[in-house]
A and B are shown apart, each in its own frame.
Chain A
């Protein structure tokens, strides 16, 4: 039995890289602030994705070269970005028409907790002295067709982030499709957390022990078709 400090599992960049493999060519994608932003660096050659940012840009490119940034060309995290050829600017209502209207194919977000029903909590710990701030997270989970989450499997103190019921205030109920953690890829299914893939060096028991709800083994996936 390994303990929680054993160096197994993916780094943050490796988690982003794993999620990037699953995004289909041609997708319109919104990447959340933090680790999800790194997904763009790992999209396989030959796939063309179009990146949306809530503050009115479709066709967002990478960060500018040092010294070439513009204060009025930023992303939703308020970091300076660039445009790619074919980009478009629009006002905020149109930007959320793209989100709420179901035009964005896929969104990658971080999480405080995800429940086995696919409930996501990622905007507030509910601490009484915290300044509440939600941004566009609730709009994204309500409107975007597919929601991927990238998160560490457990908190810094070893508590599961994949749980039966979220303790923290929800961003949205029943919205998450797939979770990429440092230990595994897990789908949300009607039966709950469905293990899809283990990272190298961990087994089912190791991941199940660190998951706060039942984890359906790969071989028990009711959707699985044996050939």
Chain B
């Protein structure tokens, strides 16, 4: 029998190891798997390379992971956000490295990584500082840069509903990077607001098919980052 459910967030992230590359779903607070990130802070893995569009806000979720000194490198498109003070301090002091990637290139690198495609050419960033060091090639009289596919040891994502096979439905713009991250990681860990019986999710509407998912933990009432930040919460 296939059953990808685990009992706790702690169990879900227990094998994340020092030096791992971890893709974390979410765009700003939408789709951020806060409870799994907090479990990862408790678990203690460090020297992580984290892939996320941003760097979190306040001192909860991703920002708390960075503040705890667990992230040696961020791969992201927009590390500045309102209420985002943790990353700038660590970046300026040289304790957290940054690989800045245009947002669409970041998405396509993840998609390519998950699709077994090691590299692709894009016109994005040609003629800008972000093209430096990358191979240029001309197709049909237009220049493109070579970008590499991106894979990870773990993806940590949040969804609205799952079944025990790992078929997933998301919520509005909380979907963002999560479906492609699920394809690009060796182990994809999901926090779901509800787990339903197989068949309850219409096969026509499945967004992420279960083959891309390895562990599911139910978090019925996930916190919203903005509410925690407004309340001045600092994790742990």
Contacts and interface: CB of A to CB of B under 8 A. Distances in A.
Nearest to A126: B129
Given A134-B130, A143-B124, A57 B102 contact: no
A78 B81 contact: yes
Interface in B2-26: none
Interface stretch (B41-49, B62-70, B173-181, B194-202): B173-181
Given A135-B77, A136-B77, A96 B107 contact: yes
B171 interface: yes
Interface in A113-158: 119, 124, 129, 131-139, 142-143
Interface stretch (A41-49, A170-178, A218-226): A170-178
B169 to A, nearest CB: 11
Contacts of B31: 72
Interface residues of B, number: 53
B104 A136 contact: yes
Interface stretch (B85-93, B133-141, B213-221): B85-93
Interface in B52-109: 53, 77-82, 87-88, 91-92, 98, 100-108
A136 B102 contact: yes
Interface in A89-125: 89-93, 95-96, 99-100, 119, 124
B234 interface: no
A100 B226 contact: no
B116 interface: no
B163 interface: no
A168 to B, nearest CB: 10
Given A133-B78, A134-B78, A138-B124, A55 B102 contact: no
Nearest to B224: A71
A137 B130 CA distance: 12
Given A134-B103, A139-B103, A56 B123 contact: no
A71 B126 contact: no
User: Of B28, B102, B129, B226, which is in contact with the most chain A CB atoms at under 10 Å from its CB?
Assistant: B102
A135 B180 contact: no
B127 interface: yes
Interface in B189-217: 207
B179 A91 contact: yes
Most buried by B among A90, A124, A136: A136
Contacts of B125: 138, 142
Interface in B111-154: 111, 122-130
A171 B108 contact: no
Given A71-B224, A72-B174, A55 B30 contact: yes
Contact of A169 (B110, B129, B180): B129
Q: How large is the interface on A (under 10, 10 to 19, 20 to 34, 35 or more residues)?
A: 35 or more
A203 interface: no
A72 B30 contact: yes
Contacts of A73: 30, 172-173
- With most chain B CB atoms within 10 A of its CB, the pick from A70, A74, A91, A171 is A91
Contacts of A83: 172
Given A56-B176, A91-B207, 8 more contacts: A72-B172, A73-B173, A74-B173, A78-B27, A91-B177, A100-B123, A135-B77, A172-B128
Interface of A: 53-57, 70-75, 78, 83, 89-93, 95-96, 99-100, 119, 124, 129, 131-139, 142-143, 169-173
8 tightest A-B CB contacts, nearest first: A96-B104, A139-B104, A173-B127, A92-B107, A93-B111, A72-B174, A136-B103, A78-B28
27 contacts: A53-B173, A56-B175, A71-B227, A72-B31, A72-B173, A74-B28, A74-B29, A78-B28, A78-B82, A92-B103, A92-B106, A92-B177, A93-B111, A96-B103, A100-B104, A119-B127, A124-B129, A131-B87, A132-B98, A134-B101, A134-B102, A136-B77, A136-B102, A139-B105, A142-B123, A143-B123, A143-B124
